[in-house]
């Protein structure tokens, strides 16, 4: 439970102070994955692309392209490869250009190049 | 106004490098007009209603978007910002165009949720698989559904009160895994 909620119940004000003050309560909700390039190989990247239900992951050569806009934060990639995929904890993802949401993840794992 | 805009057009034609800067300045000046009063019309183009649940929560006391000068309106003619959810089903093309055309200018369009951003559905006979090709989108808010705070940040980015953050994120986490 967010701290501002408890504090608000005590004081009678339960409104968040965001954006004047940071509020990380949204990070308790599912957030997009973050990747560890050292643990990613081509084979693993291909398996991650297959397991993604929303076409957020594609591989081109030694680069994994992650479209944060297409990601539904379902957690299937993290479940499949917990050593290579973690939770990013980012929720402030609004973009003025959809190209800003597509991230390049280099594949630096053994046997990837 | 007309000679100015004509001069701006001529200038941008002569110096193509500054076109992006001119567009950015124009976007900022439009956004500044809405800083303290922005009326939002939501448009559901075939979403599962999860995004609508989160949008509804924006008006709840926890988030209270009215304190920031945002208001919901049921009429597109009163709206400054169109908040579109869903993958834009083709049956909705005419209604979406009419809604957009009914809004007075200057107007903003915010694509909300992974469907609207082209994630969940691929283009097929029934859906465009995203609203990008149907409406001119100004701000894209990812999430499935985006949490109310994510929506709030998107709205504040749309009116230029917060800077875009995602451009600098890498989604790369080096070191030991958690």
A91 and A37 together in one domain: yes
Examine the domain organization and report whether A102 and A52 are in the same domain.
yes
State residue B90's pLDDT score.
94
Cβ(A73)–Cβ(A31) under 8 Å?
yes
The pLDDT, as a whole number, for residue A112 is 52
Does residue A112 fall inside a structural domain?
Answer: no
For residue B9, what pLDDT is reported?
Answer: 47
Q: How confident is the model at residue B153 (pLDDT cuts 50, 70, 90)?
A: very high
Q: Judge whether residue B41 has pLDDT over 70.
A: yes
Helix, coil or strand: residue B79: coil
- Domain membership flag for residue A1: yes
Window from A82-91, B17-26, B92-101, B158-167 with minimum mean pLDDT: B17-26
Task: Just give the CATH number of B37-161.
Answer: 3.40.50.12280
> Do both A16 and A41 map to the same domain?
no
What count of other Cβ atoms lies within 10 Å of the Cβ of residue B17? 7
Query: Is residue A113 in a domain?
Result: no
- Work out the minimum CA distance from B5 to partner chain A, whole angstroms: 24
Collapsing DSSP to helix, strand or coil, B25 comes out as helix
pLDDT band at B15 (very low <50, low <70, confident <90, very high): low
B7 has pLDDT over 70:
no
Q: Which residue has the tokens 């046997």?
A: A111
Q: Quick check: is A91 in a domain?
A: yes
Q: Are residues A66 and A102 in the same domain?
A: yes
For chain A, 113 residues long, the average pLDDT of each consecutive 10-residue run is 73 81 86 92 92 92 92 92 91 91 89 55
pLDDT of B10: 47
- The pLDDT, as a whole number, for residue B45 is 93
A59 shares its domain with A46: yes
Name the residue with higher pLDDT: A65 or B28.
A65
Outline where DSSP puts E strands in A14-56. Answer: 33-35
Q: Which two tokens stand for residue B27?
A: 């976007």
Across the interface, do B147 and A91 touch by the CB < 8 Å criterion?
A: yes
Is residue B71 pLDDT above 70, yes or no? Answer: yes
Is residue B161 packed enough to be buried (19+ CB in 10 Å), middle (13-18) or exposed (0-12)? Answer: middle
Q: Are A23 and A35 contained in the same domain?
A: no
Among candidates A31, A3, A107, A20, which has minimal Cα distance to A62?
A107
CB spacing of B150 vs A94 below 8 angstroms:
yes
What CATH number does the domain containing A45 carry?
3.30.70.3270
Rounded Cα distance between B28 and A30, Å, is 32
The structural domains of chain B, with segments of one domain joined by +, span 37-161
Total number of domains constituting chain A: 2
Whether residues A9 and A49 fall in one domain: no
Q: Which domain does A84 fall in, by range?
A: 31-106
Q: Looking at the structure, do residues A45 and A88 belong to the same domain, yes or no?
A: yes
Give the burial string for B83-111 (b: 16+ CB within 10 Å, else e).
Answer: bbbbbbbeebeeebeebbeebeeebbbbb
Same domain, A20 and A72: no
- A21 and A55 share one domain: no
B49–chain A nearest CA distance, Å? 15
Residue B164: its pLDDT value, please?
87
Backbone φ and ψ for A58, nearest 5 degrees, come out as -140, 150
| Cβ pair B108, B158 in contact under 8 A | yes
- Residues in chain B with CB shorter than 8 Å from the CB of A72 are 114, 119-120, 144
In angstroms, the CA B61 to CA B46 distance is 28
The residue among A66, A92, A100, A109 with the most chain B CBs within 10 A of its CB, best to mutate, is A92
Minimum-distance CB partner of A23 among B140, B149, B174: B149
Question: Is A6 inside any structural domain?
Answer: yes
Give residue B160's region: left, alpha or beta (phi > 0; psi -120 to 50). left
pLDDT of B150 strictly over 80: yes
Radius of gyration of chain A (CA): 17
Q: Please report whether residue A111 resides in a domain.
A: no
Evaluate if pTM is beyond 0.90.
Answer: no
CA A102 – CA A50 distance, rounded (Å): 18
């Amino acid at each position: 439970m967010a701290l501002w909620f408890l504090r608000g119940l005590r004081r009678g004000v339960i409104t968040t102070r965001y954006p004047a003050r940071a509020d990380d309560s949204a990070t308790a909700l599912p957030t997009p994955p973050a990747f560890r390039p050292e643990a990613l190989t081509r084979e693993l990247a291909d398996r991650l692309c297959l397991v993604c239900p929303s076409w957020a992951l594609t591989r081109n050569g030694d680069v994994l392209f992650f479209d944060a806009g297409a990601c539904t934060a379902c957690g299937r990639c993290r479940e499949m490869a917990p050593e290579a995929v973690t939770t990013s904890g980012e929720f402030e993802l609004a973009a003025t250009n959809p190209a800003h949401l597509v991230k390049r993840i280099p594949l630096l794992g053994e046997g990837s190049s | 106004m007309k000679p100015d805009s004509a001069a701006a057009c001529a200038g941008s034609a002569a110096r193509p490098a500054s076109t992006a800067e001119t567009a950015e300045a124009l976007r900022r000046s439009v956004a500044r007009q809405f800083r303290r009063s922005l009326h939002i019309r939501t448009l559901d183009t075939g979403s599962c209603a999860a995004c609508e649940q989160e949008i509804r929560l924006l008006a709840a006391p926890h988030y209270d978007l009215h304190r920031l000068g945002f208001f919901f309106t049921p009429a597109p003619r009163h709206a400054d910002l169109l908040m579109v959810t869903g993958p834009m089903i083709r049956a909705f093309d005419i209604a979406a165009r009419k809604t957009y055309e009914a809004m007075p200018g200057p107007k903003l369009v915010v694509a909300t949720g992974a469907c609207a951003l082209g994630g969940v559905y691929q283009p097929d006979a029934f859906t465009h698989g995203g609203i990008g090709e149907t409406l001119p989108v100004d701000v894209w808010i990812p999430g499935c559904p985006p949490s109310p705070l994510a929506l709030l940040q998107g709205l504040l980015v749309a009116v230029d009160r917060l800077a875009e953050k995602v451009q600098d994120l890498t989604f790369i986490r080096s070191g030991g895994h958690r």
